Structure 1
Amino acid sequence: MPAPRLLLTAGASRGPLDGAWWPRCDALELELPALVDALDPGLGTVARVTVDTAAWPDAPRTVLAPGHVIAVSLSWVVTEAHAITLDCGTVGRWELLVVPPAEPVAAARWLLSTAADPYNYLTAADMLALAEAGFGGA
């Protein structure tokens, strides 16, 4: 897979998101290894991810990443819709907006940059609703 389309918050995030990820397809087993491999090694090893069942209905329970296996948990919690949580053991936890693969480029760029803004207080669902309504990236 090519390098992931990813933008992380610089420094400490003050909002509900720590950045955004724009996968090219909805096959988590293909996309997740490239995402994990692109993260700064200083963030720690991703041991578990939690994904929304609506966005990833066929998600496998484990995914092979470079040098280790990542456990995949499925969430039915509405507040976690359109997001992926990356757990890195004692190092930390990151919540990323998942931009839908088919999102138009302009809207996806707006979503990536807005989610990575350390002062963004919008949730993933709120941001996607704004982009769909034409308020972001139009």
Structure 2
Amino acid sequence: MTTAVQPPLPSLPLLRLRLAPRGDIPRPIDGAWWPRSYDLLAELPQLLAGLPRAWGHITSVTVHGAVWSAVPGRMLVFNQVVRLRRSLTASAPHSVVLLAPGRGRWDLLVVPPDTAEEAAEPLMAAAAGDPGGAVSRG
């Protein structure tokens, strides 16, 4: 009798996210996210899954409309509706804004997907307030 070997299940790529430590002083940027593409429908579920539970349920996400691929007005993520907004504000072309009612607002620097790792790591560390730190991929 022979047994068939099951191929391993495909694994999701690690989330490239670096968050600033929580503190009493408000920060203009709360961390950095380095997505693998500008396809928000593909990238957003993994980002939201990797956020701290203390942030609560993110109900609204705003991205810069000129860089991200077309998005619908809302999408279902983990059985919850998330509103997707596009902004053309010139002051924040490389950021994403996350809102959770009653919990707060978080602004993340978006490192462009095609950025080389040598350039992305210092950007992410600086956005998280740790200029000498390494990128968190988990």
**What TM-score do the two structures reach when normalised by structure 1?**
0.80
Q: Secondary structure at the match of 1:102?
A: coil
CA distance in 2, matches of 1:94, 1:27: 20
Q: Secondary structure at the match of 1:109?
A: helix
Q: CA deviation at 1:67?
A: 2.6
CA distance in 2, matches of 1:117, 1:14: 12
Aligned length, in residue pairs: 119
Counterpart in 2 of 1:36?
48
Q: Residues 118 and 60 from structure 1, CA distance in 2 versus in 1: closer, same or farther, beyond 3 angstroms?
A: farther
Unaligned runs of 5+ in 1: 120-138
- Deviation string, structure 1 residues 32-62 (Cα, Å, up to 9, x no partner): 0000011111111000001001121412322
- Deviation string, structure 1 residues 73-111 (Cα, Å, up to 9, x no partner): 110111221100000111011000000000010111111
- The structure number with the bigger radius of gyration is 2
Matches within 5 A, 1:118-129: none
CA distance in 1, matches of 2:41, 2:17: 17
1:16 and 2:36 correspond: no
Pick from 10, 16, 23 the counterpart of residue 5 of structure 1: 16
The 8 Å contact of residues 46 and 88 in structure 1, kept in 2 or not, is answered as yes
The 8 Å contact of residues 111 and 120 in structure 2, kept in 1 or not, is answered as yes
Pick from 73, 76, 101 the counterpart of residue 89 of structure 1: 101
Unaligned runs of 5+ in 2: 1-11, 132-138
1:112 and 2:124 correspond: yes
Q: Residues 36 and 91 from structure 1, CA distance in 2 versus in 1: closer, same or farther, beyond 3 angstroms?
A: same
Q: Residues 85 and 38 from structure 1, CA distance in 2 versus in 1: closer, same or farther, beyond 3 angstroms?
A: same
Q: Residues 3 and 66 from structure 1, CA distance in 2 versus in 1: closer, same or farther, beyond 3 angstroms?
A: farther
Counterpart in 2 of 1:69?
81
Q: Secondary structure at the match of 1:110?
A: helix
The 8 Å contact of residues 46 and 70 in structure 1, kept in 2 or not, is answered as yes
Query: How many percent identity over aligned positions?
Result: 37
CA distance in 2, matches of 1:35, 1:68: 14
Moved over 4 A (4+): none
Task: Identify the structure with the greater helix proportion.
Answer: 1
